[in-house]
Structures are given as structure tokens and as C-alpha cells.
Amino acid sequence: MIILKLGGSLLTDKRKRFSIKRNILRRVVSEIKESGKRVIVVHGGGSFGHPIAKEYQLDRGLFNSFQLLGVALTRSAMQKFNSLIVDEFISQGMKPISIQTSAIVICKKRRISSFNYRIVDKFFSHGFTPILYGDVVLDEEMGFCICSGDQLIIELAKKFNPDMVVLATDVDGVFDKDPKKYKDAKLIEKISIRDIDKVKFYKIPTDVTGGIKSKIEELARLAEDGYNSIIINAKVRGRLKKALLGQKVKGTRIEGEK
Amino acid sequence: MIILKLGGSLLTDKRKRFSIKRNILRRVVSEIKESGKRVIVVHGGGSFGHPIAKEYQLDRGLFNSFQLLGVALTRSAMQKFNSLIVDEFISQGMKPISIQTSAIVICKKRRISSFNYRIVDKFFSHGFTPILYGDVVLDEEMGFCICSGDQLIIELAKKFNPDMVVLATDVDGVFDKDPKKYKDAKLIEKISIRDIDKVKFYKIPTDVTGGIKSKIEELARLAEDGYNSIIINAKVRGRLKKALLGQKVKGTRIEGEK
């Protein structure tokens, strides 16, 4: 079984609210189906969740009642985004089941403190493809917080002992500089837990969930527990399928010490 | 605090799939808002959940793999219905929060055996209006089952000690015959736990969650625990607001022995 993160930037145009890249979504789902692998899917917020979460400063936790509207709007937007993804899986003959993150996760200071993974496990065992997503969730100390899809895949990996963790993004992997800005940016093909602190990351300041650095930190934690992951560019046809099948594919591997 | 069930027949046209009665939804939400009362909302399946659940015989539990598609389709339809309702609350300036029933409820032989009400409680405490719904949920013995909105309000009432339970439907209350068919049908204004077995109910055979009889049985259980409820016709302007304010209103009261 594979835990698969579908990045928000992969499936939406972050510059335009509520925009979905239907062709990419369609192909991504078809590659999952063709791989024949069983997956648990987690998707990001993209142009649905991120802009509203940022506008209402939801990453800072609850500090005024005005934010409650921001939470309601973010949750509503994420539910609609999730519906679009679920429907694509259904239309391709799969059996997706949406699992609302905010109903099974509670955080404490932005880290998951309670995770009702039994729900995911049971739906998966029946043959469904669970589809979770990064979202605003309850936080025991902050009122609420943003639980990123990246944090979710860490928790899922710990519980479900996957063969692999695949992060499908819109870039080839981790670079030393932002590859969207710099032509001489170099792809880092492998990051081991030993050299995680030496890797130079660039920061994406607009990303309310912390961008590439927090992603790698989450994955490094995972590698510590022995679960390796790979970041690939799913915009390039065939890469996702190859990654799911465990074939050699361009990307960045984050590996443990084993 | 009031627990409010919004019937599927009230908000949709059951003869036409995915049809929503927008004007009624809008007025229902405005009456909730005008009442100034804090509510936990549960809505039914109506023309979204019911037809698919019936087609795939989901009320019988899991007996073949074909049904998994039915579960996926029902869950998807209910999520969309829920999104439409949530958005109406948002557009009227309220702070609704959808809580996915299938992520917080597990049943055993069609009865709720596990209910993670902490999620509902915490969102409510922060000032949100939780919105749950009848849906397909996991069942420890049957694989899955349908958890009706009526069963949900029972569980919520037990946990949240509400001032009242209000069921907003498209009929004036409980009748001795189907009021949609028989002109001489009589409204039963009060049902006490003592005479529950004497009441003559009519059966709606197409309703996958059991129709009026199962509704009354659920409410009778509630009345046993001391929580009274009222069934009203929310199609008639003003009745829902009156009921929420505890004013005298046409309907059927189901009362305990206190």
C-alpha cells in the first residue's frame, strides 16, 4: 500500500481562486488506476484552501471572532475541492471515500495530538480509496490551526506501514534554489537524514503551510522512522505511475539510515 | 441550545435527483438566524442520498463489492448536498462547520456504537454552528449501514442536553394516515411515551431510513430520557422560528413522563 500526497499546486492554479486543473487531475487519477496499487490519498489546499486561510491568518490560531468566518469559508472551500477530486476517482471507476480531516484530527500547538485513524483503516480494509486533505482543524491550545497534508501523510505512514510514500507535486523534486525562478537551480536527488541540515532550501513565503522546508522536515521525521519517500513531478506524464510501481523515476528521495 | 433536524423532504424534491428547494432552504436558515438561538443542525438525505442508497440496497449492509460504488456515490452526493446547505448559512452571515457523520460515527447492527461527539462539542464551543447529516457509515457487523439523521439527533440530544429537539419537516406533524394522500388524515398533537404503541402510523415504503415510524421510535427513546421533541412543518413561514423560540406552534409533540 502506498500513501500518496497530491499537491495543491499540482491540481490547481494558486494564482486564481477555486481553479482546478482538470486535465492534470484526470491524468493523475488515471495513472493511479493504471498502477493497480492500493493507495491512501491526501491532497493539499491549493487555490481553494490557501488564499482564504492566509487572508484570515488561520495559521496564527484563534485570536478574534472574525476568524470564525475564515474557518467556515476555508472548510467549505476544501470540501468542494475534495468533492471535485472524489468525483474524478468515481468517474474512472474507482471507489473513493472522502474522510474529513477536521473530524478525525485534533492538534496541539499545530502538531497532531489525536488521530482517529480507525476510520481510515476500516474504509481502506473494505476496499475503498480513502481521500483526506489538509484543512483547518481543532487545536487544543490555539483554538484551531492548519493541519497540512504533509503532516497528515506522516501520521498515516506511521499507522499504516506503507511500502512507499509518494509526493506528487508540480516540480521535479527539491532544488537548491526555486526552480521556477532560477535556471541554474540543481535537483537534489537524495536527501538522507544525516545531511538534512546541510541542504539549502529556498522559502516560499506565500505558502501558509510553510512550503518546501516544512515538507522536507516532515519527511525527514518519517525517514527517521524508516519510511522512505519520494517527491516527483506528476505534471510529467508517466512519472506518477512509475513512482507508484517502484520504478526508477526522476525526483528527490528522502531516505532513512537503514 | 437546540438540536434541529432539517428533513430531506423539506429541502429537496425527492422525485428529482439532486434537486434542492433553494427558497425554502434560504428561509429556513433565515428563521434560524432570526431566532438568535444556538443550534446543532442535522440534515437528511433527500433527493441526494436516498435514491442512490436505495438503488444499491445500502440499508442491507455490505453483501457484494458492487455496493462499494453505491457507498462512494452516496457519500459524494451527501457531501455536495451538505456543501449547499453550509454555503447558505455562510451567505447569511452565520459560521457553519460541516462535520462528516461517517468520520465520527460507527454503528453496530444499524445502531450507533461509537460517536466521537468531542469534535462536535469543541466546534460548538468555539461559536460555530455544527452541521451533520444522515449518511452511510461504517458498521462493525454489517460492513456499513445507513445512519439516519433521526438516529443522530438522538445521540446528540443525549450528549448535549438541549433545551429542545426540533424536527423541521414538510408536513404539519404526525398523522394517523398519510396527509399527502388522505384529506381526512388527523394531526396527532401529542404523543407521550405511554401511548406510543397505540398510535397508528402509516408507512412510507420508499424511505430507505424507515419513514415516520422509525422517526417516532427514535424520538420516543429520547422522550424516555427526558428530552422532548416537536415535529413541525417548516414549509409554513414562521413556524420554525416560533418552535425555536419555544412559542406555541402547530405540530406534534413527543413527550416523556416528567
Name the pLDDT band for B206 (thresholds 50, 70, 90).
Answer: very low
Predicted confidence at residue A28, as pLDDT, reads 98
Residue A179 predicted with pLDDT over 90: no
Instruction: Return the C-alpha cell found at A232.
Output: 516527483
Per-residue burial over B97-121, b if 16 or more Cβ lie within 10 Å, else e, is bbbbbbbbbbbeebebeebbbebbb
Residue A228 has φ and ψ, to the nearest 5°, of: -85, 155
- pLDDT tens string B72-92: 999 999 999 999 999 999 999
Cβ atoms of A131 and A99 closer than 8 Å: yes
Q: What is the mean pLDDT of residues A144-164?
A: 94
Cell of A225: 522512522
Q: CA geometry: angle at B134 spanning B128 and B140, to 5°? A: 110
Domain boundaries, chain A: 2-254
Task: Please name the residue of chain A whose CA is at the shortest distance from the CA of residue B130.
Answer: A72
Residue A205: its pLDDT value, please? Answer: 44
pLDDT of B14: 81
Query: Could you give the 3-state DSSP secondary structure of residue A134?
Result: coil
Where does residue B191 fall: left (phi above 0), alpha (psi -120 to 50 degrees), or beta otherwise? beta
Percent of chain A scored above 70 by pLDDT?
93
Query: What is the predicted pLDDT for the residue at A210?
Result: 56
Question: In chain A, what residues touch B73 (CB-CB under 8 Å)?
Answer: 90
B230 contacts B240 by C-beta, under 8 angstroms: no
Give the number of C-alpha atoms closer than 13 A to the C-alpha of residue A89, restricted to the C-beta side.
26
Q: Is the CATH code 3.40.50.2300 the one for domain B2-254?
A: no
Most confident region among A217-226, B191-200, B204-213 by mean pLDDT: A217-226
pLDDT tens string A11-55: 999 888 999 999 999 999 999 999 999 999 999 999 999 999 999
Q: Categorize the per-residue pLDDT at B101 as very low, low, confident or very high, splitting at 50, 70 and 90.
A: very high
A198-210 pLDDT tens trace: 776 655 444 455 5
pLDDT score recorded for residue B202:
57
Q: For the residues B16-28, what does the mean pLDDT come to?
A: 95
**Which of B84, B95, B107 to probe the A interface (max A CBs under 10 A)?**
B95
> Is it the case that residue B185 has pLDDT exceeding 90?
no
Closest by Cβ to B138, choosing from A73, A98, A122: A122
pLDDT at B219: 85
Which is more confident, B224 or A77? A77
Mean pLDDT for chain B overall = 91
The complex's ipTM works out to 0.92
Percentage of chain B modeled with pLDDT above 90: 74
Question: Distance between CA atoms of A239 and A44, rounded to whole angstroms?
Answer: 19
Residue B128: list chain A partners with CB under 8 A: 68, 71-72
- Cα dihedral sign, B127-B128-B132-B138: negative
The confidence score (pLDDT) of residue B117 equals 96
Find the chain B residues whose C-beta atoms sit closer than 8 A to any C-beta of A. Answer: 62, 65, 68-69, 71-73, 75-76, 79-80, 82-83, 86-87, 89-90, 94-100, 102-104, 106, 116, 118-119, 122-123, 126-128, 138, 143-144
